[in-house]
Chain A
Amino acid sequence: MKIDVRHIAKLAKLRIPDEKLGQMEKELSSIVAMVEKLPELTGSTNLLDPNNTMELRKDEIVPSMPREDILKNAPKAAAGCFIVPKTVE
């Protein structure tokens, strides 16, 4: 089966150079071939797991992190905000 590498790359926001498309397709195909050995199975379709559940958190406020720490690793920041190229509305 042919894998639409370009489409997958678009979804994943990765840029695969044209000359590497073929190689990527080959690699993905060989992994997919390995994966396609899986047997058909039936069973629940919603993936709920009632035997393994979690506790919910109490609605109690914990102080937030100071803004300078939030922004510390920001590649670009101004006016207390993270900066991105202009988004078109």
Chain B
Amino acid sequence: MKELHQYSATELSALLREEKVSATEIAKASLARIAAVEPTVDAYLTVTEEKALANAAAIDAKIAAGEELGALAGIPIAIKDNICTKNVKTTCASKMLGDFVPPYEATVMERLNKAGVVLTGKVNMDEFAMGGSCENSFFKATKNPWDPTRVPGGSSGGSAAAVAACEVPFSLGSDTGGSVRCPASFCGIVGLKPTYGAVSRYGVVAFASSLDQIGPMARTVDDVELLFSTICGRDPRDATSHQYTYEKAARDLKGLRVGLPKEYFGEGITAEVKAAVLKGVKQLEALGASVVEISLPSTDYALSAYYIISSAEASSNLARYDGVKYGYSGRRDAGLDELYLTSRSEGFGPEVQRRIMLGTYVLSSGYYDAYYKRAKRLQQMIAAEFTEAFTKCDIIATPVTPTTAFKLGERCADPVQMYAGDICTVTVNIAGLPGLAMPCGYDAGGLPIGMQLIGPKFSENRLIAVAKSYETAVGGFAVKEM
């Protein structure tokens, strides 16, 4: 029999409304599951047990009083530890913010709280969201529930692992260059990187402001949709957020044109991944879609443009961590400069320092035009190529990652090899488009393979409709027994 922790958010919501289960029972089931699997998965940095039980009790009281419930009432959620939660430690998996307790709530948290969600805790990530394996956490490495000797992907590795291990039905991650889609793919779940500006960034600890987006992650497409529709829309506190409301799209794939860009199926992508994605596309054809070959010739440059823009912005965004106002503070007895140097050199991990260095370099006098300005122009070119492509097709299908989940420690020594893993996902951030990752098969070792669906700006409803049709056709996505 299906246990409570295995239900989706949509199912739990229905059970709760029918009063077949209480919010407290749901919360307890989630907390029990966390206690049971965390020794293996290591997804959580903070478990907010007391708060979760108190919130669940409040929901139960509302039900007893016959009050109206929010859309996500009583549903447990895990939040990536770079999203500020008022009075709950938000560390960014960094020594720098190891003790940081925000006195304010991120806009997405305000919206989730209003919807009645029950926060179970904050989950692990690569430090400041920089990385693709979750190994850059200062605190610990999260393991892939499909194979605990492998990485869950990153940077939102904790968010993906917690969902895949059924600790919670859904979670929030953030995606700057693939950080929601890569771990979703490695952990065999669904993850959505929304259009830039669809979800408020207020309260998300900035990595690269022009690329960062919060994204929902879940085991079902319905749950991703439910979570996304709750958090999206204009926020007056984020000047880059858009007036936008989510509307469901028709789930009929007849006439849908699926573009296959040849640049995304080239060398570097393993044969197993290619085959699984093409099989997934065949399934879409079987549902009535047609396939068109397209070309996105600037893809080759996207990774470089991505690393220039993201590192430049990161070097600037991370300048505020100086040991004065909050966070790790170094030596104070040898003058101001020594406080700066020790706070930053001891508080940031090696990958973060590497990106700050790169970003500082590309913005420094004499190099700004050659690097940053050139990358920004390339960004416009890449965006224009996508716009052109979307005159020929309605969605684009690609792999999410070139390989399936790799072994812990396997790529730590070579940053460039690690960066190459982002090849299929960064273009979506560069162009500000929505991208959805969903499972489309398994490799020989039984590890999940992901397929990415890319649409024009604010076509999340289309991507979700296609993914839902696919999910239904394949009889749902598998959950790893643990």
Task: Tell me the chain B residues, 431-453 only, with Cβ under 8 Å from chain A.
Answer: none
- B139 on the interface (CB 8 Å rule)? no
With contact pairs A11-B360, A14-B341 given, residues A74 and B353 touching in the complex (Cβ less than 8 Å): no
Interface of B is mostly: helix
Q: Give the residue of B239, B342, B357, B415 whose beta carbon is less than 8 angstroms from that of A12.
A: B357
B residues in contact with A28, CB < 8 Å = 354, 357-358, 361
Contact B307 A75 (CB under 8 A): no
List B residues 122-168 near A (Cβ within 8 Å).
none
Does A54 lie at the interface of the complex (its beta carbon under 8 Å from any beta carbon of B)? yes
CA A12 to CA B348, docked complex, whole Å: 12
Interface check B244, CB cutoff 8 A = no
Taking the closest CB of chain B, its distance from the CB of A46, in whole angstroms, is: 9
Q: Judging by beta carbons under 8 Å apart, are B361 and A40 in contact? A: no
Number of chain A interface residues as a range: 35 or more
Option from A16, A36, A57, A76 in Cβ contact (under 8 Å) with B332: A76
User: A78 at the A/B interface (Cβ < 8 Å)?
Assistant: no
Please report the C-alpha to C-alpha distance between residue A16 and residue B341 in the assembled complex, in whole angstroms: 9
A84 to B333, alpha carbons, bound, how many Å?
Answer: 10
Binds A, one of B71-79, B255-263, B322-330, B462-470: B322-330
Choose among B100, B301, B332 the residue that contacts A37 (Cβ–Cβ < 8 A): B301
- The majority secondary structure among interface residues of chain A is loop
Least Cβ distance of B275 to chain A in Å?
28
Contacts of B240 in A (CB 8 A): 54
Given contacts A27-B354, A38-B301, A75-B328, 9 further A-B contacts (CB under 8 A): A7-B364, A15-B345, A31-B358, A34-B419, A36-B304, A37-B301, A38-B378, A75-B329, A82-B325
A: residues with CB less than 8 A from B are 3, 5, 7-9, 11-16, 24, 27-28, 30-32, 34-41, 43, 45, 47, 54-55, 57, 65, 69-70, 72-76, 82, 84-87
Q: List 22 A-B contacts (CB under 8 A).
A: A5-B357, A8-B364, A9-B357, A12-B315, A12-B356, A12-B360, A13-B322, A13-B340, A13-B341, A14-B341, A16-B345, A16-B353, A28-B357, A31-B415, A31-B419, A32-B358, A37-B301, A41-B377, A41-B378, A55-B239, A75-B329, A85-B334
Q: Which residues of B contact A (CB under 8 A)?
A: 99-101, 103-104, 236, 239-240, 300-301, 303-305, 307-308, 315, 319, 322-329, 332-342, 344-345, 348, 353-354, 356-358, 360-362, 364, 371, 373-378, 380-381, 415-416, 419
